[in-house]
């Protein structure tokens, strides 16, 4: 039985989600104590109970003490079975965070699975739907085909967003060695910047028009660096007022492979100019500092690095990264190491 201290490093929900992913992948049971100890209130919330429920549904796994507010659970994994599954988080809890707990084990199981999910699609402290679709899923396309459909945006507090996703793994035990390793380590040059902005129809008709105007004005300097720039805007139905923006930055690595990194955030009462200024500031930071893998993507890639190997030159070794590495090294014999000064993350190899 693997025992995990949920108060380690960032001490939040990612430790539980990572543990569920690794347990289903390795078929090793775990007990986690001090769940979300660094959050107020601590313990399980609806978001985390939904992750546990989804892990159970797709595998007939058993769990003890999974109830609201619980700071300790024990999870006994079972084999994943193909099928179509429906789950409602019941709040505006993040659907994209929910998926972090099952993507790796589904891919490794080689079982085709369809999920119909209800909750928040664009909420604070989690990847937006667009970040998940255009950046994260792109980073793991080597391992699975994905069909993902946004039916309705869900903002805080009502949520009620809806996403359908079909996961069709390319993986099986016989050809694991043929898969590419995770490799976000080299940068040749940036080639394209895209800003995606979505707003609920609670905003007036000029809101997105102003977004377009400000972006074109403030992003003109990227042309000096031979970086194409564009903005994509859309209104969407939602029960709550809200909006989000997602930054996509494409670059060539040293092998002429196109990589996509970026960032995302949500907004409520901010003015269009402020939203664009914040996005441009973030883009400049990434470009001027020659970031190879943004801090959010490096966090989400740890589970795939632990299984497929590889290396990451991270923007920052965050507490989330450290927490996910901590859990990974409890489940797998191959260990993940990191150099906090050089911002390098790697599996079982020394990087000079």
Pairing, β 113-119 against β 73-76: unpaired
The one catalytic residue in 48, 202, 225, 320 is 320
Provide the β-strand partners of residue 85: 115
User: CB burial class (10 A; 0-12, 13-18, 19+) of residue 242?
Assistant: buried
Q: Cα dihedral sign for 119, 121, 126, 127? A: positive
Distances (CA, A) of 52 to 95, 139, 307, 328: 13, 25, 21, 18
Active-site residue flag, 320: yes
Of 148, 159, 72, 76, the C-alpha closest to 122 is 159
Distances (CA, A) of 40 to 12, 45, 69, 180, 310: 10, 11, 11, 40, 36
Of 102, 297, 286, the C-alpha closest to 182 is 297
**Would you name the residues annotated as active-site residues?**
320
């Amino acid at each position: 039985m693997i025992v995990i201290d949920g108060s380690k490093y960032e001490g939040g929900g990612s430790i539980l989600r990572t543990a569920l992913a690794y347990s289903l992948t390795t078929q090793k049971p775990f007990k986690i104590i001090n769940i979300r100890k660094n959050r107020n209130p601590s313990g399980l919330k609806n978001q985390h109970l939904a992750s546990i429920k989804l892990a159970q549904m797709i595998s007939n796994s058993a769990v003890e003490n999974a109830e609201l507010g619980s700071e300790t659970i024990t999870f006994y994994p079972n084999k994943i079975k193909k099928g179509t599954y429906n789950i409602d988080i019941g709040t505006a809890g993040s659907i994209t965070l929910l998926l972090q707990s099952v993507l790796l084990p589904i891919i490794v199981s080689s079982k085709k699975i369809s999920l119909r999910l209800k909750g928040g699609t664009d909420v604070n402290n989690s990847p937006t739907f667009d970040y998940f679709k255009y950046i994260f899923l792109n980073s793991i396309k080597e391992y699975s085909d994905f069909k993902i459909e946004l039916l309705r945006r869900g903002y805080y507090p009502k949520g009620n967003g809806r996403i359908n996703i079909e996961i069709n793994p390319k993986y099986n035990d016989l050809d694991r060695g043929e898969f590419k390793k995770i490799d976000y380590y080299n940068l040749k040059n940036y080639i394209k910047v895209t800003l995606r902005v979505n707003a609920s129809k609670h905003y007036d008709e000029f809101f997105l028009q102003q977004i377009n105007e400000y972006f074109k004005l403030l992003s003109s300097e990227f042309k000096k660096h031979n970086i194409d720039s564009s903005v994509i805007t859309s209104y969407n139905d939602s029960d709550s007022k809200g909006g989000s923006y997602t930054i996509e930055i494409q670059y060539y690595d040293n092998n002429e492979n196109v990589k996509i990194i970026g960032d995302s955030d949500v907004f409520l009462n901010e003015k269009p100019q402020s939203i664009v200024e914040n996005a441009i500031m973030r883009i400049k930071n990434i470009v001027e500092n020659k970031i190879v893998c943004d801090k959010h993507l490096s966090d989400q890639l740890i589970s795939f690095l632990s299984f497929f190997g590889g290396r990451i030159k991270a923007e920052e070794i965050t507490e989330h990264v450290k927490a996910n590495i901590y859990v990974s090294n409890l489940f797998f014999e191959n260990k993940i190491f990191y150099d906090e000064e050089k911002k390098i993350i790697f599996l079982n190899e020394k990087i000079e």
